[in-house]
Amino acid sequence: MKLKTIFLFVLISLSLPAFAQETATLSISDTSKLTISKYIYGQFAEHLGHGIYGGFWVDKSLPVEKQDRIRLDVVNALKEIKIPSLRWPGGCFADEYHWRDGIGPSAQRPRMVNTNWGGVTEDNSFGTHEFLELCSLLGCEPYVAANVGSGTVEEMSKWIEYCNSNSNSTIAQLRAQNGHPDPYKVTFWGIGNESWGCGGNMTPEFYSDQFKRYASFAKNYPGAPLKKIASGPNADDYNWTDVIMKNIPTWMMWGISMHYYTIPTGDWGHKGSATSFTEEEYLSTMANCLKMDELVSKHAAIMDKYDPKKRVALVVDEWGVWTDVEPGTNPGFLYQQNSLRDALIAASTLNIFNNHCDRVRGAALAQTINVLQSLILTDKDKMLLTPTYHIFDLYKVHQDAKYLPIQINSPDYIVGSKKISAVNVSASQDASGKVHISLVNLDLHNNITIMTSLAGIKWKSVTGQILTSANITDVNTFDQPDKLHLVSFKDVKKEGDNLVVILPAKSMVMLELE
Ligand code: AHR
């Protein structure tokens, strides 16, 4: 520790209020030229449960404002947090989806059974045009996951032509007949989903060959250069990444995906409740969440071997906490509540992505509305914003901002024989020069004083916002939709050139320095 920091530490410690029992030191520097890609803040919406049907796309008779059948209160809430991209139609559903079933007059569209998610009837009323209309209302970029598992190269190739061609080919004319003469210019295309599992149970060697075949016929059309994303590893399957990176030339893919879910207990058979858990289970959940840092670091190191210039992005296009479903709901619909714990998971994961922005240049939270770790829950005409939504609201300032490297020295949060770092953080500087620091305290009991030095960064004043609540299990409900909401944060001050923050237990604070 430098002498100046020790002096500051002693000075601050003497003037601390009695409740602050722990101290962390943080240094933030201005030494990077990297940008935090806005696509880290992407979302995912699959044909699953009430994500699309009953979430975005509702019955004509539902008494809410709509465009066609797209629910506008939901759209407006998502516009507020500037979601940059939306991945669709799956997930596992993507590899049994045939896009031609979802175009043309709605009443004539074929029906299918959604074999992955509850065996419900899919009426295909929400298809390509409806999805792209939704993205246009949201002001976000579409990210389409193409069917490799049960589809053909021709089918995928024609889907791209249908969306992007401005020619007079029959397929482009069909789009015009269906109401959209102008090409949609969809650039993000996933070549399959979880090809190691529900997307075909392939080996990485077989998938690499499939990728090259499909990608060769995924063509660029004017104004729509494709960003092709290979189906990447499941969590810590490092061999998958190694084989893909070895076999597929870097020029052929924009990114490689990675999926990792936080399972509270670590046991897929008994994942744990979303709303009722012990402190031990909270700690194990957060330890499982923080594992993302190790996963991203190790996959990135493998990618560095084959791609030292970091041309290929790591796209964590499915992440979030996956708990048992809410009691009494369809197990195939993956409906779960969202507590302050979810908010801390979202904030910690986004800090990890920001701090790996050299390689992580895309991600998608699973799954936006009514499914897994959602931003929004709906019940007929009612809707509520979850604690996770508020985190994305706070973190939108990091989108496309200059990354500021950080070094944190945090106390541990200890429960029984297990421990994790109590504090995690990321920082950025926006185009107007404002610095944003996102701080998370995972400790359920102790406030933590954070003494921060900012090398080479000039600032005069600081303001902040906080998300916290009395209990880590607190949730927003349809009866009390604003129990958890953002409030202004005052426990922060300037001490010379340094910043001193008292970060409350179980909270997330966003600071803005000008
Ligand atoms: O998000 C739910 C499912 O999790 C997706 O369909 C699949 O890709 C993953 O296994």
Question: pLDDT tens digits, residue range 486-496?
Answer: 999 999 999 98
Nearest C-alpha to atom 8 of ligand 1 is from which residue?
Answer: 91
Check if 317 has its Cβ closer than 6 Å to any atom of ligand 1: no
Cβ atoms 81, 93 nearer than 8 A: no
Domain boundaries, the chain: 4-32+404-513, 35-401
CA atoms of 498 and 514, how far apart (whole Å) = 13
List, as one string, the DSSP characters of 379-433: ETTEEEE-HHHHHHHHHGGGTTPEEE-EEEE--EEEETTEEEESEEEEEEE-TTS
State both tokens at 155.
Answer: 């089918």
Calculate the average pLDDT of the chain: 95
CA atoms of 330 and 114, how far apart (whole Å) = 14
Cα(366) to centroid(ligand 1), Å: 8
User: With pLDDT > 90 as the criterion, what percentage of the chain qualifies?
Assistant: 95
Q: Specify the pLDDT at position 8.
A: 44
List, as one string, the DSSP characters of 304-351: HHH-TT--SEEEEEEEEE--PPPTTS-GGG-----BHHHHHHHHHHHH
User: With pLDDT > 70 as the criterion, what percentage of the chain qualifies?
Assistant: 96
Cα(117) to centroid(ligand 1), Å: 10
Cβ atoms 28, 97 nearer than 8 A: no
Q: For residue 472, how many other CB atoms are within 10 A of its CB?
A: 19
Pocket residue to mutate for ligand 1, from 50, 114, 198, most atoms within 8 A of Cβ: 198
> Which atom of ligand 1 is found nearest the CA of 372?
1
What average pLDDT score do residues 280-284 get? 97
State both tokens at 285.
Answer: 């959940």
Q: Specify the pLDDT at position 144.
A: 98
Clarify whether 318 is annotated catalytic: yes
Q: Specify the pLDDT at position 275.
A: 97
Pocket residue to mutate for ligand 1, from 259, 315, 321, most atoms within 8 A of Cβ: 259
Cα(467) to centroid(ligand 1), Å: 29
Residues 421-476 have pLDDT tens digits of 999 999 999 999 999 999 999 999 999 999 999 988 999 999 999 999 999 999 99
Nearest C-alpha to atom 9 of ligand 1 is from which residue?
Answer: 91
Pocket residue to mutate for ligand 1, from 47, 201, 318, 367, most atoms within 8 A of Cβ: 318
CA atoms of 251 and 241, how far apart (whole Å) = 16
Cα(282) to centroid(ligand 1), Å: 23
Residue among 96, 130, 194, 294 flagged as catalytic: 194
Query: Does 384 have pLDDT greater than 70?
Result: yes
Q: Specify the pLDDT at position 15.
A: 43
Question: What homologous superfamily is domain 4-32+404-513 in, according to CATH?
Answer: Golgi alpha-mannosidase II (2.60.40.1180)
Query: Does 372 have pLDDT greater than 70?
Result: yes
Query: Does 355 have pLDDT greater than 60?
Result: yes
Q: Specify the pLDDT at position 497.
A: 87
Check if 90 has its Cβ closer than 6 Å to any atom of ligand 1: yes
Q: Specify the pLDDT at position 324.
A: 97
Q: Specify the pLDDT at position 11.
A: 43
Q: Specify the pLDDT at position 345.
A: 98
| Residue that has been written with the tokens 């071997």 in this structure | 305
State both tokens at 489.
Answer: 């944060």
What average pLDDT score do residues 54-74 get? 97
List, as one string, the DSSP characters of 230-263: E---BTT-HHHHHHHHHHS-GGG-SEEEEEEEE-
Residues 206-244 have pLDDT tens digits of 999 999 999 999 999 999 999 999 999 999 999 999 999
What average pLDDT score do residues 300-320 get? 98
Clarify whether 194 is annotated catalytic: yes
What average pLDDT score do residues 342-351 get? 98
Cα(88) to centroid(ligand 1), Å: 12
What average pLDDT score do residues 162-174 get? 97
Cα(92) to centroid(ligand 1), Å: 6
Nearest C-alpha to atom 7 of ligand 1 is from which residue?
Answer: 91
| Residue that has been written with the tokens 């791609």 in this structure | 307
Query: Does 257 have pLDDT greater than 60?
Result: yes
Question: What homologous superfamily is domain 35-401 in, according to CATH?
Answer: Glycosidases (3.20.20.80)
Check if 366 has its Cβ closer than 6 Å to any atom of ligand 1: yes
Q: Specify the pLDDT at position 191.
A: 98
Query: Does 119 have pLDDT greater than 90?
Result: yes
Q: Specify the pLDDT at position 21.
A: 63
Residue among 122, 130, 141, 318 flagged as catalytic: 318
| CA-to-CA dists, residue 219 to 185, 192, 231, angstroms | 12, 16, 18
